[in-house]
Chain A
């Protein structure tokens, strides 16, 4: 187990290094903006004096590496600056909007694993048969449309045509929720209000499913590909030649080794979902980071843009760390240090 621990430490260092890289990259992107950021932020009616003052506050007249230095120093202190759009600290804005987005993405991630992996296993087990082809077409359709298209289609079918699910929002307005974590599913449980919990879950399902669809397709396709490849390995033939039961071979012998490469891609899909959540949130009026993110981008609110991208990248790196850890635990080669 100590190998897993070593690996974790090493991965955390690498992730931090990458995060520093991301901050540099985003900072550079934000600074190559054509025109004067201070002028853009203040709008066309600002006086030259106001602009001059803001330039000073933003250190815009100093060399770019010094600007990054100031930025990095504040970042370490958990200060991402003030949003010029909401006039509040960016950190506060993000704390307000991030939980709703994370709730959506985590729910979608769970759906992706719970539906995608079994579909892939079934597909591989019946390779070349009708069921396999059916699953492959469905999975391919899943990855072939952006999540906002699925959101529209699901909403039309299951909220308007068959009114099974609510049309928009996170929860019905008649519930008063005490905000502790910002995650509605957790907050409602903390309040002991099961009815509100169910209501929140009911609101969550359709957007999460729309967001998960391409991930489900991807996970199913990948699991199938890895498993059919594993099925050609000598140790599967050996298991077969010793007459181990077929379902046992599928589960114990083909799936587990195939899961390891699948997990890596699931981590990447999770990243894609963090971005795609913006698309689904827009359709379902989900009060997450999306509206904030798009608004600050359209207003060229640099501090807020940098902050949002950094937080999302950090969430992605954490997700990847978890995936790496899972792989290390599942793979005896790493677990036993080789």
Chain B
């Protein structure tokens, strides 16, 4: 573990990744202290100072009702990270369990579970989440649910493939010979060997969940105003291109920075842990 961390930190690109992630997480955690106008995350209106280009004290300009864009971006990070973490905490255990069962429990279970997984994977990800958001009210909780529903099948497929390979290994046969229960073999014997691949995917996915969630809210199907959200900020600002370019460019770049950071780190992990999919 320490060795892994050491190798990851010896590559310039992954150092940049770690720095970007640290910046995003720390700024989200301490948003109340580092943002110049913490109250601007809510419904503040300041028409004397609306739609201002980047300058001082609004380093990224102000939005159409005069709120500080930088403040709102940092608070949006907070929402995005919470959403990403919750989605993964729900989707990963579900997908992993399905994948383990499909891989280990015999042909009928495999057929049913993997066909089901395939059905979910056959709907383009964003479209599935959109249609779920379509029937539900657009709230943060429902957004998390919609993204979770589209996300778990990726883990069940990953773990299914890993399980197929692992169950032929000697240690699994040994456990079977001494009469360990299926539950024990799946979760105690096989699962730990899938951890490197799962962890790598989770790191990459934290970025991608943020990306997909911002896409949903860009379409007006995610987090609703006044809660700050990067996707809906871009959508609102897009009508005022090119003159008020900062309304779209800064939230857009904010998404790019966060996702890029997670991707850099995830890539380095994949290389070091040797978890190709």
Contacts and interface: CB of A to CB of B under 8 A. Distances in A.
B124 A271 contact: yes
B241 interface: yes
B119 A137 contact: no
Task: Describe A's contact surface by its main secondary structure.
Answer: helix
A29 B142 CA distance: 13
Interface string A242-284: 0000000000000000000000000000011111101100110
Interface stretch (B49-57, B60-68, B75-83, B127-135): B127-135
Given A141-B256, A146-B255, A152 B241 contact: yes
Interface in A192-248: 225, 229
Interface string A130-167: 00010011001101111011001101100011000000
A141 B126 contact: no
Contacts of B126: 272, 275-276, 278-279
Contacts of B124: 271-275, 312-313, 316
Contact of A279 (B134, B215, B267): B215
A59 interface: no
Interface residues of B, number: 49
A25 B119 contact: yes
B162 interface: no
B237 to A, nearest CB: 8
A298 interface: yes
A140 to B, nearest CB: 5
B122 A317 contact: yes
Interface string B238-266: 10011001001100110110011001100
A152 B133 CA distance: 24
Contacts of A271: 122, 124-125
A300 B136 CA distance: 9
Interface string B130-166: 1111111100000000000000000000000000000
A78 to B, nearest CB: 21
B127 A149 contact: no
A300 B119 contact: no
Contact of B219 (A32, A141, A156, A279): A279
Interface string A284-326: 0000000001101110101001001100110011000000000
A152 B219 contact: no
B118 interface: yes
Contacts of A19: 122
Task: Describe B's contact surface by its main secondary structure.
Answer: helix
B214 interface: yes
A282 B122 contact: no
Interface in A1-59: 17-19, 21-22, 25-26, 29-30, 32-34
A5 to B, nearest CB: 23
B211 interface: yes
Given A229-B276, A297-B133, A21 B116 contact: yes
Contact of A17 (B115, B221, B242): B115
Given A152-B249, A305-B131, A305-B134, A145 B259 contact: yes
Interface of A: 17-19, 21-22, 25-26, 29-30, 32-34, 133, 136-137, 140-141, 143-146, 148-149, 152-153, 155-156, 160-161, 225, 229, 271-276, 278-279, 282-283, 293-294, 296-298, 300, 302, 305, 308-309, 312-313, 316-317
Closest 9 CB pairs of A and B: A275-B126, A297-B134, A21-B119, A275-B124, A149-B252, A160-B242, A144-B260, A144-B259, A33-B135
